[in-house]
């Protein structure tokens, strides 16, 4: 039984909450390294702070997917998890930027911020996944590419807002530098950006909740060809993985290299351009905070590039060719950052990176859901989230070693730190050349592009 076509506005409402979720995700990805560096983290250990979030994602997402496959209540099937994730994200977004304002020592502030980051990433993913699952539930195969393209458009629009919030607030007079004599406190431009993002997130999620009506169990079973006895089957993750279509694994390989690349972009862009463009290695300096704002601008350019490229992707005759070409263009963008010292010329690099991001948002889930039956869709999408989380964990673990091996010599900078209520100068080791990590990201995208041609789409047996 074929699912009916949905109107444009039905597809739009289905994913509109993604706009708010992505604002929160953009604020996280553009500002977390800046926040940790301001709190006192050393650059060569910066990537370690990104380990816990994807690790929690690997644990939580398969469970959420499996539980939502079995959840049928008056609020819906996927929507209860959407509401829960959004509420937790809003609460955490109020605490995270205040990590340095609680009177804690440097180490305690970093630990607190790490816990907040873990909760934020987990809650954002919990709020994000139901949108992908609802498209899989309610949209027929012929419209899935269109549905995920709309989701990609809203995602990039949300990213644009999130990335530009700090510099936008700075332009209207909100403080963007640390007060004189104060260390470890996050600038107001970042703090208020998180507050605004939290408000927009909850409003967008409530809009989708009010305008979308999920299928009831009988309709879902009929449209997905699920027999009565199959509804009662318990889900076993090991058995599901053993029965997963080959597309699950081959798309996962592409995801591995792709998300490794973007973890390095989020981690090292601010430090890299602070050195190459603003000529500073000192996280508490005015120049470094300006570089932090410019990171948001560059990520916004990436989002614009992604929006524009998303319009080009459907013109490719074969989806895999479009996917691979997009990743190669993104790899060129990453590598080019190593040879540019002008802040405006970096727009070209990040626009090219946006091409890869557009493909990463639309292609994997469209390909995968076309290869899955409806019976365990949520469980499979939850497990598939591990192909996003695992590469980030590995990238975070080895990032410091890559930085030491490739980035150049270690230098010592003087940094004010708060110890037992007193501000003192302390020698802090910093590695030059963080921008080289974006070269590593470019190579990873080339490998991802090569892996695209291993994908074989074949419908899984129900």
For residue range 327-338, list pLDDT tens digits in order: 999 999 999 999
11: its two tokens: 């597809």
Please tell me the total count of domains within the chain. 1
- Specify if 231 maps to a domain: no
pLDDT-derived band at 343, boundaries 50, 70, 90 = very high
pTM, two decimals, is 0.73
The mean pLDDT of 317-336, rounded to a whole number, is: 94
pLDDT at 236: 64
User: Helices 8-15 and 188-211, interaxial angle, to 10°?
Assistant: 130
The strand pairing partners of 76, in sequence order, are: 73
- For the stretch 355-409, pLDDT in tens is 999 899 878 877 887 777 655 666 777 777 788 888 988 988 888 888 877 765 6
- Specify if 462 maps to a domain: no
pLDDT-derived band at 462, boundaries 50, 70, 90 = very low
- Specify if 1 maps to a domain: no
Three-point CA angle 43, 46, 52, nearest 5°: 175
Domain of 370: which CATH number? 1.20.1250.20
281: its two tokens: 């290695």
**Lowest mean per-residue pLDDT among 92-106, 360-374, 432-446:** 360-374
Helices and strands: H and E segment counts in the chain: 17, 2
- Specify if 140 maps to a domain: yes
Asked if 358 and 313 count as a contact pair (C-beta separation under 8 A), the reply is yes
Q: Which domain holds residue 331?
A: 8-224+239-452
- Specify if 233 maps to a domain: no
- For the stretch 168-221, pLDDT in tens is 999 999 988 766 655 567 889 999 999 999 999 999 999 998 898 877 666 666
pLDDT at 461: 47
- Specify if 3 maps to a domain: no
- Specify if 229 maps to a domain: no
Task: Tell me how far the alpha carbon of residue 230 is from its chain's centroid.
Answer: 34
- DSSP state letter for 48: G
Asked if 417 and 182 count as a contact pair (C-beta separation under 8 A), the reply is no
- Specify if 230 maps to a domain: no
- For the stretch 270-314, pLDDT in tens is 989 998 999 887 777 888 889 989 999 999 999 899 889 988 887
């Amino acid at each position: 039984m074929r699912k009916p076509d949905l109107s444009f506005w039905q597809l739009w409402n289905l994913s509109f909450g993604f706009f708010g979720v992505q604002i929160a995700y953009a604020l996280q990805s553009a500002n977390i390294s800046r926040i940790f560096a301001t709190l006192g983290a050393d650059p060569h250990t910066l990537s370690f702070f990104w380990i816990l979030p994807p690790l929690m994602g690997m644990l939580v997402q398969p469970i959420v997917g499996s539980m939502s496959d079995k959840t049928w209540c008056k609020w819906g099937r996927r929507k209860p998890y959407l509401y829960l994730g959004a509420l937790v994200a809003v609460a955490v977004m109020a605490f995270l930027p205040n990590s340095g304002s609680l009177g804690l020592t440097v180490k305690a502030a970093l630990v607190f911020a790490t816990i907040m980051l873990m909760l934020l990433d987990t809650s954002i993913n919990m709020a994000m996944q139901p949108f992908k699952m609802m498209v899989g539930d309610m949209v027929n195969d012929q419209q899935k590419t269109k549905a995920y393209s709309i989701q990609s458009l809203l995602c990039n629009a949300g990213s644009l807002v999130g990335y530009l919030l700090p510099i936008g607030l700075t332009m209207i007079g909100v403080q963007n530098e640390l007060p004189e004599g104060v260390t470890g406190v996050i600038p107001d431009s970042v703090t208020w950006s998180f507050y605004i993002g939290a408000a927009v997130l909850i409003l967008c999620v409530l809009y989708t909740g009010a305008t979308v009506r999920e299928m009831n169990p009988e309709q879902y079973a009929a449209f997905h060809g699920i027999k009565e006895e199959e509804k009662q089957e318990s889900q076993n993750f090991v058995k599901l993985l053993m029965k997963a279509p080959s597309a699950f694994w081959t798309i996962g390989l592409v995801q591995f290299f792709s998300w490794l690349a973007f973890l390095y972009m989020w981690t090292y862009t601010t430090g890299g351009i602070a050195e190459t463009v603003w000529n500073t290695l000192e996280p508490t300096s005015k120049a470094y905070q300006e570089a932090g704002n410019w990171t948001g601008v560059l990520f916004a350019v990436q989002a614009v590039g992604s929006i524009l490229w998303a319009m080009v992707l459907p013109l490719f005759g074969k989806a895999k060719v479009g996917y691979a070409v997009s990743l190669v263009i993104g790899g060129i963008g990453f590598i080019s950052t190593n040879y540019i010292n002008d802040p405006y010329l970096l727009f070209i690099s990040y626009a090219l990176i946006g091409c890869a991001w557009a493909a990463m948002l639309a292609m994997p889930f469209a390909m995968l859901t076309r290869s899955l039956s409806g019976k365990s869709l949520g469980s499979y999408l939850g497990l598939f989230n591990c192909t996003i989380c695992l590469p980030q964990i590995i990238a975070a673990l080895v990032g410091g070693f890559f930085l030491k091996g490739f980035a150049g010599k270690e230098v010592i900078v003087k940094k004010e730190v708060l110890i037992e209520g007193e501000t003192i100068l302390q020698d802090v080791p910093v590695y030059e050349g963080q921008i080289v990590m974006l070269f590593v990201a470019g190579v990873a995208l080339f490998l991802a592009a090569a892996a695209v041609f291993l994908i074989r789409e074949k419908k899984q047996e129900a």
